[in-house]
Structure 1
Amino acid sequence: MDLLDPVLQSYPWGSRTHLADITGVASPTAKPWAELWFGAHPLASATVDGKALDSVIAADPVAALGARAASESEKLPFLLKLLAADEPLSLQAHPTLAEAQEGFHRENAQGIPPTAHFRNYRDDNHKPELIVALTQFDALAGFRPVERTKQMFEEFGVPELEHYLGLLDSVDDESSLRALFTTWLTLPQDVLDELVEATAKRCAEYGGDDPEYRLVAETTCELARKYPGDPGVLGSMLLNRLRLMPGEAIFLGAGQLHAYLGGMGVEIMANSDNVLRGGLTSKHVDVVELLRVLCFEPLEAPVLHGRVDGEGWSNFDTPANEFSLASTRVESGESVDFGRDSATIVLVTEGKVTLSSGSQTLDVPCGHAAWIPAAQASNIQLRAEPQENQSSVAAQEAADTARATGAQVFVATVPR
């Protein structure tokens, strides 16, 4: 067992306080901290005792991953992150495995460097992903059922959009959404400028009672101010507008359009960084490629809740084969035992814990993670520790809170 030193990713939408506060760094930070990567992605591998995790795994895949996982791939199949957003992320989706492999090899053949800003496919993997809220977390996720969307636009009453909303009367929801979304993303800029401005004006005047529609109206106004004339402003209105409370989650499979808007969460995904963007960003946008991979089937129940087992673990069940994520809360001074049969990462999001495996122990502070190779992961004890030796009044109050509430941890591994 060793502490895992993550890779910090600084993007304009990141927070200058969230990740700093959870890791114990002075805030606000000089630049926005968006993500901490606890994984072994080839372009941004975390380190263990000064060595890149992907290299550590490659040196002995069976010991690191376990015989079962190593027989399928000699690479860590998942990427665990802490994500914090103070501003909206881009409107985006991720490819299927076949699409990622084809796109990656195609761009390699074109001689596009892996780190080029205009590259779509940075690796040959797909990216199913799960995010669990640590704070209130706002998001757009998956297309809303068409009848709800038609009702919403009727309440908003935007005359300039009426010409286009007839496209929602197609034979089925998928065809309707594909027609309208494709049309909006490919309109001439002068038309978009007018439509976005008119839509934002109507949204600012909305006074209805539906809580989701109110959130959509607020979000549309915010996005229009930040990205005037961007087709993603209109496209975002077709998506489920969600407000997660801590512990609630979203799972997104291939082709599901989404955008995280604000908040902090634990994110886990297949080990990939493939993102296809359609707007709401200063980064590379490729509308043609995005439309090629999008899934237009409405996502009717996007919010996921953990399944609590008999030992108090909240398990976030998904169809992904690359990762499994569970969380638990341990009261100060108490311990829990657990074991896994493959590589495991333990991330602490509240308090401080001590991990024990045989004669070895490891302290893991809040906002940090431990790497546990499969050879050590079968029998782990986790103890929540009070935070002592605080000097300031504020720090003492924090310590008192930690003693009262204990620790919260997330455990990521490969599914059995």
Structure 2
Amino acid sequence: MELLRNAVRPYAWGSRTTIPELLGRPVPSPHPEAELWMGAHPGDPSHVIGPDGTEHSLLELVESDPVGQLGVRCAEHWGGRLPFLLKILAAEEPLSMQAHPSAQQAAEGYAREEAAGIARDASNRNYPDPTAKPELVCALTEFHALAGFRDPDRTVELLRAIDTPGLTKYSELLAAQPDPDGLRALFTTFITLPQPALDELLPEVLDACVRHVKDHGEFDAECRTVLGLGETHPRDAGVLAALLLNRLTLHAGEAIYLPAGNLHLYLHGTAVEILANSDNILRCGLTPKHVDVPELLRVVDFACGDMPVLSGEAAGRSSVYRTGTPEFELSRVEWTDGDRGELDLHGTGPEILLCTAGELLLCADDGTKVELHRGESVWLPASDPGVKVRPIGTEPAHLFRATVGTCID
């Protein structure tokens, strides 16, 4: 049971206040800070801080002692690799629109690109590793996202509500086939429009969205989102694709699970994110990075309907966000004002514990004690004894617990 020092990723869409404030650093930061990574990702592994203040890469610890750090079952199943990565996500501006492959798609794509001799760090590489990348995002603040394809009938209503001469043929295309195949056809048409046609259609659509907002129309949130995306990406087909996705507002404690093929776009807010330890991303647009349309179309799942919002299965102070994915499971623990009760943790695999509010005292069965303050996290290897957790003082405290999924075959 040791504290972690974690890497901050400074992507342009990040916030200059959220992560510095969480970590107790000066606000604002000199540059946007988008993600705080906790785990053993090769690109930016956490460092374990020993009792004497010395630091060791968590990645190197796992590689040198996979059974001791991960446990026999996890080490064997994942080839000596920690299968999850935990993050704080601080989105001040929208990310790219993207989807992630299944395990089979990732393995096949990785093998193809290896055989083709594409460097793993090449800008046009789709599959830098052979693993799936499911993810779950749990809101810490109000969190806005687009995720999954909206019910086609509802999307037809939206498109007709902002109808323009140039848009009519596309809305009627979906109206004639309001099912996943119709969505595939319309989505494919949108993202493959020649640039001159896109440059003609997009201003029409944006003007129609402005009118809809001024008229207090039913699809206000959707239109405002498209207008924002159109302002920052004025010639991008992803703006049109955004019209087809569910527009979600998550409140603190609510989560969405994004399995393979789910097309999504995080818009704004702060969240805890847990995902498989992979870099495989197929981008749709709203980014200067590589977009491989044929490969994207092979990966995207056009199943449609409302996107499920998870509140977690409650058990006392804990809520577990069950997804069925073997790579990870996320739990949220909340102590209310004045609650000083203990949480007894007796896991059989590796865990990362993250404090997002208040202060906590962790007491291991061997007598080791660690204080965990807001923004701090600890690594619990599989070989560690059980741990008891309770708040320090009477203030509310929040803890996120990242573990390996319980459904390993």
Q: TM-score range by the shorter chain?
A: over 0.9
Please list the CA deviations of residues 99-130 of structure 1 after superposition, one character each: whole Å capped at 9, or x if unmatched: 11122222233333323333221211111110
Q: Match of 2:383, SS?
A: helix
Give, in angstroms, the shift of residue 204 of structure 1. Answer: 1.0
User: 1:357 aligned to 339, 361, 364, which one?
Assistant: 364
1:36 aligns with 2:36: yes
What is aligned with 2:64? Answer: 59
Partner of 1:323: 328
Give yes or no for the alignment of 1:164 onto 2:154. Answer: no
CA distance in structure 1 between the aligned counterparts of 2:5 and 2:294, rounded to whole angstroms = 37
Question: Partner letter of residue 371 of structure 2?
Answer: D
- Tell me if the contact between 1:133 and 1:246 (Cα under 8 Å) persists in the aligned partners: yes
Please tell me whether the aligned partners of residues 391 and 397 of structure 2 are also in contact (alpha carbons under 8 angstroms): yes
Equivalent residue letter for 1:327: R
Structural mapping, 1:247-396, within 5 Å: 247-309=253-315, 311-331=316-336, 333-358=340-365, 359-376=367-384, 379-386=386-393
Query: Matched residue of 2:167: which SS?
Result: helix
Report the Cα distance in structure 2 between the residues aligned to 1:163 and 1:21, rounded to whole angstroms: 49
Report SS of the residue matched to 1:264.
strand
**Helix, strand or coil for the counterpart of 1:140?**
strand
CA–CA separation in structure 1 for the residues paired with 2:122 and 2:7: 19
Report if the CA contact (8 A) 2:91-2:269 is conserved: yes
Whichever residue aligns with residue 372 of structure 2, its letter is V
Deviation digits for residues 149-174 of structure 1 (CA, Å, limit 9, x no counterpart) = 01111222222101122221355511
8 Å contact kept, 1:330–1:336: no
From 219, 222, 225, the equivalent of 1:216 is: 222
Distance 1:361 1:187 in 2: 60
Q: Name the CA distance, whole Å, in 2 between partners of 1:210 and 1:80.
A: 39
- Does the C-alpha gap of structure 1 residues 44 and 258 become closer, same or farther in structure 2, counting only changes over 3 Å? same
Pick from 404, 407, 416: which aligns with 2:397?
407
3-state SS in 2 of match to 1:14 = coil
Q: Secondary structure at the match of 2:25?
A: coil
Decide which of 152, 160, 163 is 2:158's aligned counterpart. Answer: 152
Shift of 1:265: 0.3
The 5-angstrom pairing of residues 100-249 of structure 1 reads 100-171=106-177, 173-207=179-213, 213-249=219-255
Offset at 1:186? Answer: 0.6
Aligned residues: 396
Q: Which amino acid aligns with 1:28?
A: P
Tell me the C-alpha RMSD between the 2 structures. 1.6
CA distance in structure 2 between the partners assigned to 1:228 and 1:323 by the alignment: 37
CA–CA distance in structure 1, aligned partners of residues 227 and 151 of structure 2: 22
Work out the CA distance in 1 between the residues paired with 2:187 and 2:232. 20
Match of 2:52 in 1: none
Structure 2: runs of 5+ lacking an equivalent = 50-54
The one-letter code matched in structure 1 to 2:2 is D
Q: Match of 1:8?
A: 8
Confirm or deny: 8 A CA contact 2:353 2:377 kept in the other structure. Answer: yes
Moved more, 260-269 or 70-79: 70-79
Distance 1:316 1:209, change over 3 A: farther
Which one-letter code corresponds to 1:21 in the other structure? E
CA deviation map 1:35-73 (0-9, x unaligned):
111111222222213222122112222221122222312
1:13 alignment partner AA: W
Shift in Å, 1:281:
1.0
Question: Cα deviation per residue 1:260-286 (whole Å; 9 max; x = unaligned)?
Answer: 000010000111111111111122222
- Give the superposition deviation at 1:334: 4.1
CA shift in 2, pair 1:32/1:283, >3 Å: same
Residues 11, 33 of structure 1: 8 Å contact kept: yes
Taking a change above 3 Å as real, the CA distance of residues 9 and 380 of structure 1, as seen in their structure-2 partners, is: same
TM-aligned CA deviation for residue 145 of structure 1: 0.6
CA distance in 1, matches of 2:175, 2:360: 55
Q: Quote how far apart the aligned CAs of 1:210 are.
A: 6.5
Structure 1 CA distance for aligned equivalents of residues 62 and 143 of structure 2? 34
The alpha-carbon deviation at position 302 of structure 1 amounts to 2.6
- Report SS of the residue matched to 1:242: strand
Residue 96 of structure 1, aligned match among 87, 97, 102: 102
Moved more, 255-264 or 33-42: 33-42
Residues 155-196 of structure 1, C-alpha deviations (whole Å, 9 max, x = no match): 222221011222213555111000000001011111111211
Unaligned runs of 5+ in 1: 387-402
SS at 1:376 equivalent: coil
Q: Which moved more, 1:129-138 or 1:287-296?
A: 287-296
Between 1:39-48 and 1:197-206, the stretch displaced more is 39-48
* TM-score where L is the length of structure 1: 0.91
Contact 1:336 1:381 in 2 (8 A): yes
Q: 1:256, 1:204 → 2: CA distance?
A: 28
Paired amino acid for 1:342: G
Higher mean alpha-carbon deviation, 159-168 vs 262-271, is at 159-168
Separation (CA, whole Å) in 1 of partners of 2:17 and 2:162: 36
Structure 1 CA distance for aligned equivalents of residues 133 and 123 of structure 2: 19
Contact 1:141 1:302 in 2 (8 A): no
Contact 1:133 1:248 in 2 (8 A): yes
Query: Secondary structure at 2:128's aligned position in 1?
Result: coil
1:129 and 1:60 map into 2 onto residues whose CA distance is 27
**SS state at 2:111 partner:** helix
- Name the CA distance, whole Å, in 1 between partners of 2:240 and 2:177: 22
